[in-house]
Amino acid sequence: MNQSHALTCLFARALRVDRGGRVIVRNITFDLCAGEALVALGRNGAGKSTLLRAIAGFLPISDGELSHDGGSDTPLPELCHYVGHADGLKSALTAAENLEFWARMLARRSSSEVLSPLQALERVNLKRLADFPVAYLSAGQKRRVALARLFVAPRPLWILDEPATALDVASQEVLSEAFARHRGAGGMIIAATHAPLGLTDAAVLQLDAAVRAPGGNG
Amino acid sequence: MKQSPLSALFWRELRIARSVGGGGSMGLVFFLILVSLTPFAIGPDLNLLSRIGPAILWIAALLATLLGLDRLFQSDADDGSLDLLLTASTPLELLVLVKCAAHWMATALPLVIASPLLGLTLAMEPASLAGISLSLLAGTPALTMLGAIGAALTAGLRRGGLLMAVLILPLATPVLIFGVSSAAAASGGTVPFHIPMLILCALSLAAVAGAPFAAAAALRARDA
């Protein structure tokens, strides 16, 4: 009865993503199965964020096919957590209120191990700041609150765009542990990151900027 | 008690609108200033003021509603919340409708409540005061919902507020016409009160039914 992890495999076949009529990434092919991780690498502007946003369903995929097994016909965006450059936090609300809201909004039926907002904040070592408005938190603390979202509403696929930005060493360790636990429970991770974060055994997707027309800076 | 996603969104929006910088009360203050400036501009001709009072209140309400609307989706687009809302299992159309309902509660409802008081400063008759409140109550949902389409179209733009006003004000013309005429009909006239009032209600209902789909489509296509 582990339905939140019912997603078993994710297949990408020759994906191409265009923005503003220009090809940003093309020919992306990968398989990702339960418990595996994929790290997208490439220089700045190689299209890492574009690819992750397309997988999360925010950008249309121009060509190729993205399909998944399991997850009982749920659309892929509803199976994934996306943590990007913007934290998705309202600065007027407290950290706990922000998490409470996202727990309600992103919850899926019969999810297995749900942490309460306070427990999630404890895991990222921010429990004492739970009642502070997010506006007063530092960049790294905001990022930790955003990452705590991963724990309050379990979803099988984590899509993380530079998750380690502004994190201190201790928090990066917390994140690596969370990755290991998530993969141990059959979750998947797609990350664009240059920090190790315990993903050394992950498949690497090298985004080759050279395939694009010269002069593009997508 | 477990809140549903929609009620969680509703209370979150209300709390943000009420907080400092949320802009919940700015519309009301703007409305107040606009209406109380008018007698200074027109002069102390009480007959003239009471005749054009409904029109002044309606134009002021229209502008005050537009004032806060540009941030309806833009703040969510800026801080990344909008992306996350797209990954929720609740349909985006419903989320748009709930956001608009909360926005209406926070910005338009205070205008409806304040309008009879401000109508007094424009020397309007009691029947007309009741008429203006009722017409604003029936008409402001249409303004909010039409504005939501503009707000969704301009969510990805910096300084999109002015563009939104240019896009939306022409669409709000029918609401303005029937809003003012039902307020005017309340204090006597050739048309019975209920005719423009029913058309105004119809405009609001049509906007509530249609605008969430248009706004959600605009939000989905925002990044493409």
Q: State pLDDT tens for residues A62-118.
A: 888 888 887 777 888 888 999 988 888 988 899 999 999 998 888 876 556 688 888
Average pLDDT, chain A: 84
- The reported pLDDT for the residue numbered A109 is 66
The pLDDT value recorded for residue A3 is 45
Mean pLDDT over B200-206 rounds to 96
**pLDDT in the model for residue B94:** 95
Largest CA distance in chain B: 58
The alpha carbon of residue B216 is apart from the nearest alpha carbon of chain A, in Å, by 13
Q: What is the mean pLDDT of residues A52-70?
A: 89
End-to-end CA, chain A: 43
Average pLDDT over residues B119-128: 88
pLDDT tens for each residue of B93-104: 999 999 999 999
The answer to whether the Cβ–Cβ distance between B15 and A93 falls below 8 Å is yes
pLDDT tens by residue, A132-149: 899 999 999 999 999 999
Nearest Cβ partner for B79 among A19, A77, A89: A89
Please provide the DSSP assignment of A25-43 as one string: EEEEEEEEETT-EEEEE-S
Phi first, then psi, for residue A13 (nearest 5°) are -125, 110
Is residue A32 a contact partner of residue A68, using CB atoms and an 8 Å limit?
no
Q: What are phi and psi of B21, to 5 degrees?
A: 80, 0
Q: Which domain holds residue B33?
A: 5-220
Beta bridge partners of A37: A189
* Binding-face residues of B in 12-51 toward A, CB within 8 A: 12, 15-16, 19-22
CA nearest neighbour of B122 among B193, B54, B32: B54
Outline where chain B has alpha helix (H).
Answer: 5-18, 26-42, 46-69, 71-79, 81-86, 92-103, 109-121, 126-153, 161-168, 173-185, 194-220
Which of 93-152 (B) contact A at CB < 8 A?
A: none
- Name the residue with higher pLDDT: B183 or A207: B183
Q: Does domain A3-85+93-211 have CATH number 3.40.50.970?
A: no
Q: B56: which 2 tokens? A: 């002044």
Q: Write down the domain spans for chain A.
A: 3-85+93-211
C-alpha A204/C-alpha A27 separation (Å) is 15
* Beta strands A37-41; A203-206: pairing state: parallel
The yes-or-no verdict on residue B224 having pLDDT over 80 is no
Q: Check CB contact of A104 with chain B, cutoff 8 Å.
A: yes
**pLDDT score at A197:** 79
Tell me what pLDDT residue B125 has: 87
Backbone angles phi, psi at A202, to 5 degrees: -75, 155
Q: What is the ipTM of this complex?
A: 0.84
Determine the residue of chain A that is closest to B75 in CA distance: A90
Pairwise CA distance, residues A6 & B224, whole Å = 30
A window 7-46, beta carbon within 8 A of B? 19
What total of structural domains would you count in chain B?
1
